[in-house]
Amino acid sequence: MPEGNAPFSQTEYDRRIALTRTAMSEAGLDALFVTDPSNQAWLTGYDGWSFYVHQGVLLRMEGEPMWWGRFMDSMGALRTCWMSEANIFGYADSYVQSTVRHPMQELAARLKDMGLESAKIGVEMENYYYSAKAHQVFVTEMPNATFADVTALVNWQRLIKSHEEIAFIRKAARISERVIETAIDRAAPGVRKNDVVADIMHAGITGVDDIWGDYPAIVPLTPSGLDATAAHLTWNGDPMREGEATFFELSGCYRRYHAPLCRTVFLGTPPKEMLDAEAAQIEGIEAALNAARAGNRTRDIAQALVDVLQKHGIYREGRCGYPIGLSYPPDWGERTASLRVEDETILQPGMTFHFMPALWMDTWGLETTETILITDSGPAEALCNVERKLFVKD
């Protein structure tokens, strides 16, 4: 049997499972069925692009977690998970995208065999890969079980990163610097946007020295001019143009860990209102990082930004950041705490956020962001080292 190639020490996985079981116990669960691919990887090491079919990790209060998925992907689980082969389960291919049977029927039958027929089972109701249908089938097939919505139960355990995880995020940050530098370097009038993105991706996957690049959970977001008033447009084959700002929202990725970073490039001479916004944004970032201290709250970071921007006459709605770390598409955020004025989460050392004070204005967008680490004392540490400014190329 090939041994798993899980990226972390057993001590680290044991830590994660202990944390999760404490939360399970508080929720009164007998078992937890985890569908979020990031949560699966965090608990077991499982890594594969197979989340487009139903799969998950089952954790009970005792014993190893169990990975369950399509049979052909159980081969991948054997290659990537730390558990023994006895805890890897595959279902037949006839369940895949079938109109007459559903994989959750197969899972329910297994759970009954395990004696979980009347168990209290936690599921992640608000997750990309736990469909309305999957839940409906699961509940129907297990009429004696009790289901609890424990969306983000595991995600919350991920909020404070271990030293092993922070080491990975620091590696991702080295790649993030490289990809942002590549974008800034390549941006020029007449250069097709897709050619810039090709170089960005090449730099990101090449990585830095022995830090090889994994795929980020979001593709490069690189809109220019009017397109940059929208937050999430991708690229096309149009040439970049003089007189336009382009923001680059990118992340390096090392073994699924991210360190997102944005910078904006202006080709030509930026208008005064953009330079004014730049100054306000940079002052706001400094104030926010200074507020991002252990013992403060997430809302303090957001309020520090809002106060500075308002002083400069900029009224910004919406959250200005989210926790980051281990992620799979479609999102590199962890979906727990938010950096916004009503969020009450107490900041603790080891938390990592993408602090994201982007400004999307009527006719242009300006994104300058940082991945930050809450430290034992003092302001947050910005993990990437790229000059914090609007890059002007004229």
What residues from 51 to 80 belong to the interface with a copy of itself (CB under 8 A)? 51-52, 72-73, 75-76, 78-80
Decide whether 131 or 375 has the Cβ nearer to a copy of itself.
Answer: 131
Q: Quick one: which of 19, 23, 27, 96 contacts a copy of itself (CB under 8 A)?
A: 96
State yes or no: residue 47 binds a copy of itself (CB under 8 A): yes
End-to-end CA distance of the chain: 59
User: What would the two tokens of residue 87 be?
Assistant: 């805890």
257: phi then psi, degrees, rounded to nearest 5 = -95, 140
Options 58-66, 166-174, 190-198, 374-382: segment touching a copy of itself (CB under 8 A):
190-198
Decide whether 99 or 144 has the Cβ nearer to a copy of itself.
Answer: 99
State yes or no: residue 85 binds a copy of itself (CB under 8 A): no
CA neighbor of 154 nearest in space, from 43, 58, 48: 43
3-class DSSP assignment, residue 173: helix
Decide whether 87 or 293 has the Cβ nearer to a copy of itself.
Answer: 87
Name residues contacting a copy of itself, limited to 342-381 (CB under 8 A).
360
Contacts 24+ apart (CB under 8 A), 113-116: 116/30, 116/31, 116/60, 116/145
From CA 369, how far away is CA 256, in angstroms rounded? Answer: 20
Q: What DSSP line would sit under 50-112, residue for residue? A: -TTS--EEEEESSS--EEEEEHHHHHHHHHH-SS-GGGEEEE-GGGTT-SS--HHHHHHHHHH
Name residues contacting a copy of itself, limited to 236-265 (CB under 8 A).
236-237
Name residues contacting a copy of itself, limited to 320-339 (CB under 8 A).
322, 329-331, 333, 335, 338
Task: Give me the 207-226 binding string for a copy of itself, x by CB under 8 A, dash otherwise.
Answer: x--x-xxxx--xx-x----x
Task: Give me the 260-279 binding string for a copy of itself, x by CB under 8 A, dash otherwise.
Answer: --------------------
Decide whether 313 or 330 has the Cβ nearer to a copy of itself.
Answer: 330
State yes or no: residue 192 binds a copy of itself (CB under 8 A): yes
The answer to whether 47 and 80 have CB atoms below 8 angstroms apart is yes
State yes or no: residue 46 binds a copy of itself (CB under 8 A): no
Q: Minimum CB separation from a copy of itself for residue 394, in Å?
A: 26
Query: How many chain residues touch a copy of itself (CB under 8 A)?
Result: 76
Name residues contacting a copy of itself, limited to 99-158 (CB under 8 A).
123, 125-136, 149, 151
From CA 310, how far away is CA 318, in angstroms rounded? Answer: 14
CA neighbor of 390 nearest in space, from 365, 354, 362, 363: 365
